[in-house]
Amino acid sequence: MDLSTDIQYIKGVGDAIAARFRKLGVSTVGELLYNFPRDYEDWSKITPIMETPFGESCCIRARIVNAPVGSRMKNGGMMFKAVATDGSGILMLTFFHNQYVVNQLLEDQEYLFFGKINQNIVGGREMLSPRFVAVTGNDRIHPVYHQTDKLTSKKIESVVLNAFAALQGAIPETLPDYLIEKYRLMGREDALKAMHFPENDEQLRLARRRLIFEELLGMQLGLLFLRQRNRTGTSVCLQRDFTEEFYSFLPYEPTGAQKRCIEEAMTDMMTERPMNRLLQGDVGSGKTTVAAALVYNAVKNGYQAALMVPTEVLAEQHCRSLSKLFGGRVNMALLTGSVKASQKKQIKKGLADGSIDFVVGTHAIISDDVAFRNLGFVITDEQHRFGVRQRTALAEKGKNPHILVMSATPIPRTLGLILYGDLDVSVIDELPRGRQPIETYAVASDYHERLYRFIKKHLDAGRQGYIVCPLVEEGETELVPAQEYAAYLQKKVFGSYTVGLLHGQMKPKEKDEVMRDFALGKIQLLVATVVIEVGIDVPNAAIMVIENAERFGLSQLHQLRGRIGRGQFKSTCVLVSDAQNEEAKKRLRVMCETTDGFKIAEEDLKQRGPGDFLGSRQHGLPELKLANIITDTKILYAAQKQAEDILLADPELALPEHLCLRQTVENLFGKFGTAGIN
């Protein structure tokens, strides 16, 4: 037996139980051993009955004095009661719908019981449905696993024990000896055993440390491999710099930060290695201007460029704004799923024959039937919504083109190491001139009347505003609350003003029409869902009200707020929430105290963790099973430095002692980790 063996061949499994394991995502012996416990119960710490605290879980060693007796409950089910003692006191044991306890708990026999201590109606101590084992050396720390109705944690524990017994000495090491010695790490087999069956807290800590280091080292090696591969040479080398020519028709003076970022990127693009750069900037910092300068340079040097964004709304906005900026100097096209078939055919023909210089679109750009004549520059926007694989798929439309990744969501440094380990980074750390600071306030829903008067004051002064509808509960449609709220506001509150509606279920053409009317000032107040999180740029918008603000993450609130304050007018964002829980209140306080996107992102990461911060694994990276980039930053930095040192000494991981690491990278990233370096 080895780690690739099907789980059905472990003693005590078979076909039926194997099927239950597969529902947990466990199909092989290796997957079983990496299916770590979600918690642990320390059965080695025995507490006397009379010293057990009410409301807490603990382990008791006691003798059955009254064997279980069943009685029927009002709902027809059976309840079984037993009595146990350890000499210090009496413990009542209650079991529901479990007739087996009659034969499992025998009078005058001693058992270990684990569960929460409750106070019964006469003031005594009671455990409801405790877990129990006979006293036969089971007084140790027990793992608690995620389970299903038909696969209990106890059964999983039993199967894991059988797997380790069958694999004795057959679990291969995945780290070189010199790393184990350097960092004083546990061996892999010992670490896996200790993760499931630790003897004490210290052993569990050391096991976690070993496995987290291995996990993060594999991740960093894979990302550095991608970076290394992207530096292996390109035929796309810009010969001339047209940046000054671009500045000459730009209708505004770029900031120093924008100029610095353009210069950094152009330095890359004028060399014979492909650029692979992340452009990070807060909301409204002017990333599009930087991208436009680089597109113009690529096109003037005879190459095609492509910009891929996550939504059609954003693709349409970029196409409009960039078309206006270039003023006919660049032949552009928009390619999204909703473009008519006849137009798509013409666009694809233009990209293939080179008559179209620059295409803006959604993931439709990476369709198999889209081919470029000479793609030299690729941009992806809001990168963490795509991921390594999509970025690679777009890049493969050319011959190692230059790549720019734009993110308006400030990414904390620790998360950046995981998300963007394969990229160089440019940061726009200065806002364009004239941008107004946004004042933010949090109020309760009983402020609505005052809020509506405050909005009218802005509209009367010629400004425009947003009211963002709350996120809807899962399974509901956003259409109904958005429509109902907009209708109510138009009829009952803002009768003499024009109220518009924008939501995700509208057709692209309808969205486009609403956004155009809002941009032209025909709509004074726009009621919208989070569809405006990316997209609309209206300098005249100076007021935003976000309803039920507690339902949004900090970074999302920051993105929404960034839709205002884009012009010369003082802007205000009001967060409406009746939430009483401390976490929600803290989120809103942070929003009121700072407009710094990076501070907000750090706080968001702390509060929600990387999984929620990124959304449901849309970032396309291998899943971290153990590592937590908030609490394990020290190990993360050590792993990154070690990965750099390893690849410096052995760029292809070809040395015998590194073949195990190469296998780890391939397991994590598949062909994306090592493609192109053989």
Structure confidence by residue, pLDDT tens digits, 528-574: 987 765 556 788 999 999 998 988 888 788 888 988 888 788 999 99
Go through 288-304 and write b for each residue having 16 or more CB atoms within 10 A of its CB, e for each that does not: bbbbbbbbbbbbbbebb
Task: Reply yes or no on whether the pLDDT at 17 is more than 90.
Answer: yes
Token duo for residue 578: 């009746």
pLDDT digits (tens, 9 = 90+) for 142-152: 899 998 878 98
Neighbouring C-beta atoms of residue 675, cutoff 10 Å:
15
What is the model's pLDDT at position 545? 96
CA distance linking residue 393 with residue 219, whole number of Å: 20
The one-letter amino acid at 411: I
- Look at strands 141-144 and 332-335 and give their pairing: unpaired
Residue 627 pLDDT class (50, 70, 90 cuts): confident
Across the range 420-443, mean pLDDT stands at: 81
Q: Which residue has the higher pLDDT, 256 or 430?
A: 256
Task: Reply yes or no on whether the pLDDT at 676 is more than 50.
Answer: no
What is the model's pLDDT at position 377? 95
The one-letter amino acid at 521: G
What is the model's pLDDT at position 417? 66
Task: Reply yes or no on whether the pLDDT at 674 is more than 80.
Answer: no
243-428 and 438-594 share one fold: yes
> Tokens 């999984």 appear where?
611
CA distance linking residue 96 with residue 240, whole number of Å: 80
What is the model's pLDDT at position 673? 43
* Least confident residue range of 50-54, 360-364, 424-428, 469-473: 469-473
CA distance linking residue 512 with residue 518, whole number of Å: 10
Across the range 249-275, mean pLDDT stands at: 93
Contact yes or no for 212/631 (Cβ under 8 A): no
Task: Reply yes or no on whether the pLDDT at 604 is more than 70.
Answer: yes
- Look at strands 276-281 and 402-407 and give their pairing: parallel
> End-to-end distance of the chain based on CA atoms, in angstroms?
32
Q: What is the DSSP letter of 9?
A: G
Domain ranges of the chain: 1-40+147-171, 45-139, 243-428, 438-594
Q: Which among 75, 119, 428 has a CA at the least distance from the CA of 261?
A: 428
CA distance linking residue 220 with residue 421, whole number of Å: 7
Neighbouring C-beta atoms of residue 553, cutoff 10 Å:
17
What is the model's pLDDT at position 375? 94
What three-state secondary structure class fits 82? Answer: strand
Q: What is the DSSP letter of 657?
A: G
Task: Reply yes or no on whether the pLDDT at 230 is more than 70.
Answer: no
Across the range 422-436, mean pLDDT stands at: 78
CA distance linking residue 135 with residue 405, whole number of Å: 60
Beta bridge partners of 125: 91, 119
User: Helices 554-561 and 582-593 meet at what angle, rounded to 10?
Assistant: 40
CA distance linking residue 15 with residue 18, whole number of Å: 5
Residue 476 pLDDT class (50, 70, 90 cuts): low
Contact yes or no for 116/127 (Cβ under 8 A): yes
What is the model's pLDDT at position 615? 46
CA 35 to chain centre: 21
What is the model's pLDDT at position 294? 98
Task: Reply yes or no on whether the pLDDT at 432 is more than 80.
Answer: no
What three-state secondary structure class fits 281? Answer: strand
Distances (CA, A) of 14 to 7, 11, 419: 8, 8, 40
pLDDT digits (tens, 9 = 90+) for 315-347: 887 898 899 999 999 999 999 888 899 999 999
Distances (CA, A) of 381 to 154, 595, 660: 47, 22, 35
* Least confident residue range of 252-266, 407-421, 575-589: 407-421
Token duo for residue 656: 């015998």
Beta strands in 332-422 (DSSP E): 332-335, 358-361, 375-381, 402-407
Cα angle 41-44-45, degrees, rounded to a multiple of 5: 90
> Tokens 């591969």 appear where?
229
Task: Reply yes or no on whether the pLDDT at 464 is more than 90.
Answer: yes
Q: Which residue has the higher pLDDT, 385 or 28?
A: 28
Across the range 365-384, mean pLDDT stands at: 86
Q: Which residue has the higher pLDDT, 461 or 234?
A: 461
Across the range 471-499, mean pLDDT stands at: 76
Contact yes or no for 344/335 (Cβ under 8 A): yes
Element containing residue 113 per DSSP (H, E): strand 110-119
Radius of gyration of the chain (CA): 31
* Least confident residue range of 165-174, 180-189, 374-383, 515-524: 374-383
What is the model's pLDDT at position 619? 46
Mean of the per-residue pLDDT values for the chain?
A: 86
Q: Which residue has the higher pLDDT, 477 or 157?
A: 157
CA distance linking residue 639 with residue 20, whole number of Å: 36
Q: Which among 257, 222, 338, 274 has a CA at the least distance from the CA of 647?
A: 222
> How many helices, marked H, and strands, marked E, lie in the chain?
23, 21
pLDDT digits (tens, 9 = 90+) for 500-509: 998 878 887 7
Which residues, 6 or more positions from 155, have their beta carbon under 8 angstroms from its beta carbon?
A: 17
What is the model's pLDDT at position 672? 44
Task: Reply yes or no on whether the pLDDT at 471 is more than 60.
Answer: no
Neighbouring C-beta atoms of residue 43, cutoff 10 Å:
20
Element containing residue 645 per DSSP (H, E): helix 633-649
Across the range 417-438, mean pLDDT stands at: 76
Neighbouring C-beta atoms of residue 491, cutoff 10 Å:
10
Task: Reply yes or no on whether the pLDDT at 61 is more than 90.
Answer: yes
Neighbouring C-beta atoms of residue 123, cutoff 10 Å:
6
CA distance linking residue 7 with residue 159, whole number of Å: 9
Residue 387 pLDDT class (50, 70, 90 cuts): low
CA 546 to chain centre: 23
Indicate the CATH number for domain 45-139.
2.40.50.140
Q: Which fold has domain 243-428?
A: Rossmann fold (3.40.50)
Indicate the CATH number for domain 438-594.
3.40.50.300
Task: Reply yes or no on whether the pLDDT at 435 is more than 60.
Answer: yes
pLDDT digits (tens, 9 = 90+) for 267-318: 999 988 888 898 988 777 888 999 999 999 999 999 999 999 877 777 887 8
